[in-house]
Structure 1
Amino acid sequence: MAYYCSFKPLLLFLFFLIATTQGIDSITTHLHFFLHENYNSPNATSITVINSTTSNPGDFGSIGIFDDEIREGSSVDSKLIGRAQGIAPGVSLRQTTWLVLLNFVFTEGEYNGSSLTVVGRATLEGTSERSIIGGTGKFRMARGYTINTFLIRGGPAVHLIAEYDAYIVH
């Protein structure tokens, strides 16, 4: 008489074991910081590299590049903790909206040498939520989201300040 052994129960058990042990060593971190963007030459941190050729409202078709400051506070004198580096093409025919791809590169403190990669939609009205899709250093394999609100935009100094909350699982 032949002995029959099914591997299905064993495979299901292994799958369950792997699925339930994922993320056991994960850490959740909340960061609060301020992005400072300056449009004034010669110290501009954001420039438009391609201007739109359309007459649509907003910046549809334009592409901006930025290397903004990340600071602990909203004051321009607060401690510099990193840079926000990325690209933002204008993507809406109806309002000023960008698809932002950026890296938060931390240069001070506990997360010095680490970075977060963030992607998502941004407008100047209300709050914007974007996805954290990766990271380096202490944020290796990061995922999560950011929420930001613009505090100051325009004015005589043409300076933009945005408050960020980042919720990171890594």
Structure 2
Amino acid sequence: MATFINLLQILIFLVTAINASDDDVTWAKRVVTKNEVITTLQFYFHDKLSGQNPTAIRIAQSSQTNNNSSTLFGMLMMIDDPLTVGPDPASKIVGRARGMYGSAGQTDFGLIMVLSYGFLDGIYDGSSFSMLSINPVMQPVREMAIVGGTGLFRLARGYAIAHTYMADPATGDAVVGYNVTIATYV
């Protein structure tokens, strides 16, 4: 009898995972358990500082900062960056990252990220998560904290792993890949 109950529990878990298909959303997976929902997201963040239509603009710079500072300490940017399923800017847009980041390191290039990642695709349309964390940009892979959210991500906690896909030092433009794990309550 105990084996039958264990088998039944596994079957229910698998059916729940299969039914959480996210109605054709390919960049996100959602697994519902008894007490929580674990969502994994994969998308690309396009930060464009150059050209006629930048998605990130400098809004402040400390008068105390030496303009030749290698870390740009004291610089603050406001962003409205597209989030896409692939690294190509023409790939499907699934959301936008909006908020601010600023250079918070005097000796190393670390950005304080204060952003809301809002989504437009499938069951995630209208949901967002919030990030508040240091992004040590020069590291090839970095981990940042997720501290809350709205909609399907209400009371979110989790982390984002970011890796730079492309960065142009001449323009400041960058494409960053994100792998995100979010836990919420059922």
In structure 2, the partner of 1:87 is 100
In structure 2, the partner of 1:139 is 153
CA distance in 2, matches of 1:167, 1:99: 20
CA distance in 2, matches of 1:158, 1:96: 13
In structure 1, the partner of 2:56 is 46
> Which is greater in Rg?
1
In structure 2, the partner of 1:127 is 141
TM-score (norm 2): 0.74
Following TM superposition, the consecutive aligned residue runs of length 4 or more in structure 1 with deviations greater than 2 angstroms are 155-159
Q: Deviations over 1:116-157 (max 9, x none)?
A: 001111132222211111111111111110010111111676
Q: Deviations over 1:71-94 (max 9, x none)?
A: 000011110000001111211111
CA distance in 1, matches of 2:171, 2:101: 21
In structure 1, the partner of 2:5 is none
CA distance in 2, matches of 1:151, 1:52: 30
Contact kept? 1:59, 1:97, Cα under 8 Å: no
The residue identity in structure 2 corresponding to 1:137 is G
CA distance in 2, matches of 1:152, 1:69: 15
CA RMSD of aligned residues (A): 1.7
| Aligned ranges 1:7-156 → 2 under 5 Å | 24-53=34-63, 54-55=65-66, 56-125=69-138, 126-154=140-168
Q: Deviations over 1:48-82 (max 9, x none)?
A: 11124322421111111111000000011110000
Return 5+ residue gaps in structure 1 as ranges.
1-22
TM-score (norm 1): 0.81
SS at match of 1:76: coil
Q: CA deviation at 1:97?
A: 1.4
In structure 2, the partner of 1:6 is none
Return 5+ residue gaps in structure 2 as ranges.
1-32
CA distance in 2, matches of 1:115, 1:87: 16
Contact kept? 2:111, 2:137, Cα under 8 Å: no
CA distance in 1, matches of 2:179, 2:152: 18
